[in-house]
Amino acid sequence: MHASIRTLRRRRAPAGEESRGKRRPYGSLRLSRSERARRAWPIARDHDGVAHRAQLRQAGVSRADVRSEVAAGRWRSLGRHTVRIHASTTGRARLWRAVWESGPGARLDGVSALLADGLTGFSPDAIDVTVPAANHAHALAGVRLHRPRSAPEVVSAGIPRVRPDIAAIRGALWAHSERQAALIICLAVQQGLVEPGRLMAAAPVTKSGRGAFVRTIVTDVCDGSHSLGELDFARLRRSRGLPTPSRQAVRVLPDGRVYLDVYWAEHGLVVEIDGGHHTLALEPVRDALRQNDLTLTGDRVLRIPLLGLRLEPDKFLDQVERGLGLAHPLGAARQGEQHPARGA
């Protein structure tokens, strides 16, 4: 009786039981090459060619199985947690690896989070990853770690990442230059990755430093207001000593009455300040029609994107100055002297 019980207890599991996902005892036979591939490839497919070792173990692929595949050169170890399964991985595989290897609670942040959301037209020099300050973090080549006291809200679908509006603001704050900061904000809005209202709410409230600049850019891009641009242009115009333009200039064009942002009637020069909304939907078409109508009536039109007043004010004001000089009858003859209109 006792012998038969011991025999039953020592009876090996039925064939195929391991393939049903039950964990195999330590030291048991390894899976076949084809079975490893069958279990690992769906995981790697969902993670752009890579897999987390914990996910592989949950699928019944043991540490010994992983070592065998790595030794054979079919898989590649990319760190403590990341294994490359597919020979050809996508750029997003780097993002998965950065999150998995940086520490518990890690999530993409800044521009890297926006890249995971589909951002195009921007190539960062490092992957930004945030790890909560209370968690242990691991430095990784090509990854820029951030350790905030309170971690921002995370989007868990797909690669763990910071919410797009927060990511856009933080990406702009961490940018290498104001030009790069403005580009990040513009791309995030233009590509529909973040709602303007949420971006406005997330913008930093500060009166100095990069935060003040970012707040200004967010307002320019999201608000679509002309008045802010016109006030800034008036300030820059006065600093240059340029003449006062016509006030509340109104012109009648084939499509009806239009209000010109800045108009020097005596010089036949129009300056249009284009806010962020001028790049949306059919606005470029309407802008082109209006500019063409103005040109056909004898005026010249200079267009200044509102961002241009932030990033290249001197270059745009140089163009306005040249436009006024060319319109002046003595402008060509007085090159090299003080602009005839300055100080008027």
The pLDDT of residue 260: 78
Domain boundary among 90, 105, 124: 90
Domain harbouring 327, CATH code: 3.40.960.10
pLDDT, one tens digit per residue, over 315-338 is: 899 989 888 884 344 333 333 433
Q: What residue numbers bound the domain in which 328 lies? A: 226-334
Is 108 a domain residue? yes
Is 198 a domain residue? yes
The pTM of the full predicted model, rounded to 2 decimals, is: 0.65
Q: State whether 264 and 325 are in the same domain.
A: yes
Q: State whether 238 and 213 are in the same domain.
A: no
Q: State whether 49 and 158 are in the same domain.
A: no
CB-CB contact of 173 with 211 (8 Å): yes
Q: Which two three-digit tokens encode residue 149? A: 């006291």
Confidence tier at 87 by pLDDT (50, 70, 90): confident
Q: State whether 326 and 234 are in the same domain.
A: yes
Of 45-59, 67-81, 203-217, the one with minimum mean pLDDT is: 203-217
Q: State whether 97 and 211 are in the same domain.
A: yes
pLDDT, one tens digit per residue, over 28-60 is: 568 999 999 999 999 999 999 999 999 999 999
Is 302 a domain residue? yes
Q: State whether 193 and 152 are in the same domain.
A: yes
Is 27 a domain residue? no
Cα–chain center distance at 280: 18
Is 16 a domain residue? no
Q: State whether 284 and 306 are in the same domain.
A: yes
pLDDT, one tens digit per residue, over 164-185 is: 999 999 999 999 988 899 889 9
pLDDT, one tens digit per residue, over 101-155 is: 999 999 999 999 999 999 998 889 999 999 998 899 999 999 999 998 877 778 8
Q: State whether 108 and 197 are in the same domain.
A: yes
Q: State whether 98 and 189 are in the same domain.
A: yes
150 burial via Cβ count (<10 Å: 0-12, 13-18, 19+) = exposed
29 burial via Cβ count (<10 Å: 0-12, 13-18, 19+) = exposed
Give dist(CA 32, CA 330) in Å, integer. 89
Number of domains into which the chain is organized: 3
Give which of 179, 185, 226, 183 is closest to 204, Cα–Cα: 185
Q: State whether 203 and 240 are in the same domain.
A: no
Q: State whether 249 and 208 are in the same domain.
A: no
Helices 164-174 + 178-190 axis angle, to 10: 160
